[in-house]
Amino acid sequence: MARLSQTRIPCTLMRGGTSKGPFFLASDLPGDAALRDHVLLAVMGSPDARQINGIGGADPLTSKAAIISQSERPGIDVDYLFVQVSIDRPLVDVTPNCGNMLAAVGPFAIEQRLVEPQAPVTSVRIHMVNTGNIAVAHVPTVNGEIIYEGDAVIAGVPGTAAAIRMDFLDTEGSVCGALLPTGQALDKIDGIDTTLIDNGMPVVILRAADFGKSARETPAELDADKNFKQRLEQIRIMAGERMGLGDVRSKVVPKMTLIAPASAGGDLATRTFIPHKCHAAIGVLGAVTVGTACVLPGSVASEIVHLPQGTVKNISVEHPSGEFTLEIEVDKDGTVLPKVVRSSLIRTARALFRGDVLVPSSVWDGVISKHAVVNSDLSKKSR
């Protein structure tokens, strides 16, 4: 006999930076990671190329979710578990972070009253569960309410919005355990020079010219070159092993980023793959990692980018939708490998709708048999 009911799950659909997806309180989802992932596949409508039976947008940038809970860690406000939901496969990946979705965590936490608003800015300290790192979101607030309207512009998002400054603290080795997983700034993989690096996101950085590219191609042009994409994936699989990530065929990391000299007044041009489709822009933590490579002597990026002296460096990263400016603070200059102690950037966010998302009761009946807590153990179960 067919079930007639559906299970209601409270959520807020939010845009964070150039991504969007549903935000959930951990207490509103199953505590069991496998069941939770099954529910999220149903929420997004995966696997299906159109995600027609869910709220996913049939694009990697809109097939994401965030799970938030009040943190029990001293000095931390909330825990944030990022979830990348595959579009055409029944796969849920919690290995990487997403810095764009991160931009909406502060506003969501304030609206859910997990954090008390302050005027004129509420600083929200966020534990990124996927990688164990800390970020601080500085959210404009007045009279206890979030200010979403403002004058900030970010490439890839139409219009303007209030600026949310994001500070990333000690993100090196977030997934791989070391900034340079192989211990060196330059590795040759199958005849191609690469920099294998992780400062918030595992990234393989490559010269676009080594593939006959300019990093000025449109994402559609790059995605249409099947031979190039096959070659890129071969290198990604080999790089994943060297970075300690194991077999990455079913993982969204490492990301692959082609770089070239800037063509629009920035410091370098980029084209990033996430991991198989060319990104319409560039991810926040991916940009932080690419920017970090720019300050490392001997890296693929260091020979392209020429930065001024000083401990605080502004790096303009060009991407298909425009430009992304990072502020990177290092602890020293010179030939000794510098340590990045802080990366900052401006993002915007907006709540799009609040309500209940519905999943078939055959997927989940809404009974939470275990207390749902976002913590590192929970995230590891889904890897």
Instruction: Tell me the per-residue pLDDT of 259-271, one tens digit each, with 9 for 90 and over.
Output: 999 999 999 999 9
Confidence of residue 378 (pLDDT cuts 50, 70, 90): very low
Strand partners, 271: 258
Contact between residue 170 and residue 134 where contact means Cβ atoms under 8 Å apart: yes
SS3 string of 22-56?
EEEEHHHCCCCHHHHHHHHHHHHCCCCCCCCCCCC
Using only C-alpha atoms, what is the Rg of the chain? 20
Tokens of 157: 């998002």
> If you ran DSSP here, which 8-state letter would residue 203 be given?
E
Distances (CA, A) of 186 to 50, 303, 304, 305: 40, 11, 14, 15
d(CA 215, CA 164): 29
Model confidence at 324: pLDDT above 50: yes
The string over 194-225, giving b where at least 16 C-beta atoms fall within 10 Å of a residue's C-beta and e elsewhere, is bbbbbbbbbbbbbbbeebebebebebeebeeb
Query: What was the pLDDT predicted at 336?
Result: 63
- Chain-centre distance for alpha carbon 154: 16
Record the tokens describing residue 203, joined without a space.
């990234």
Query: Chain-wide mean pLDDT for the chain?
Result: 92
Is residue 381 over pLDDT 50?
Answer: no
Convert the pLDDT of each residue in 63-88 to its tens digit. Answer: 999 999 999 999 999 999 999 999 99
- Which domains are seen in the chain, by residue range? 6-163+349-381 (3.10.310.10), 187-344 (3.10.310.10)
The answer on pLDDT for 337 being more than 80 is no
- Res. 372: pLDDT tops 70: no
Confidence (pLDDT) at 8: 97
Is the pLDDT reported for residue 3 higher than 60? Answer: no
What confidence score (pLDDT) does residue 235 get? 98
Strands 145-146 and 187-189, how do they pair?
unpaired
Alpha carbons 201 and 243: distance in angstroms, whole number: 12
Q: What is the end-to-end Cα distance of the chain in Å, rounded?
A: 35
Q: Where are the alpha helices (DSSP H) in 61-111?
A: 99-102, 105-111
Q: Report angle CA 190, 194, 195 to the nearest 5 degrees.
A: 145
According to DSSP, the residues that pair with 14 across neighbouring strands are: 21, 351
Is residue 265 exposed (0-12), middle (13-18) or buried (19+ Cβ within 10 Å)? exposed
pLDDT surpassing 90 at residue 382: no
Both tokens of 359, joined, read: 């999943």
Q: Which of 3, 172, 10, 21 is nearest to 92 (CA)?
A: 21
pLDDT per residue over 25-43, tens digit each?
999 999 999 999 999 999 9
Residue-wise pLDDT for 171-224, tens only, equals 899 999 999 999 999 999 999 999 999 999 999 999 999 999 999 999 999 999
Amino acid, res. 349: A
Q: Tell me the pairing of strands 145-146 and 164-169.
A: unpaired
pLDDT surpassing 80 at residue 333: no
Query: What pLDDT does residue 4 have?
Result: 63
Contact, 111 vs 124, CB < 8 A? no
The answer to whether 184 touches 235, Cβ cutoff 8 Å, is: no
pTM for this predicted structure:
0.80
Average pLDDT, stretch 99-116?
Answer: 97
Query: Which run of H or of E encompasses 238?
Result: helix 226-242
Alpha-carbon gap, residue 73 to 345, rounded angstroms: 25
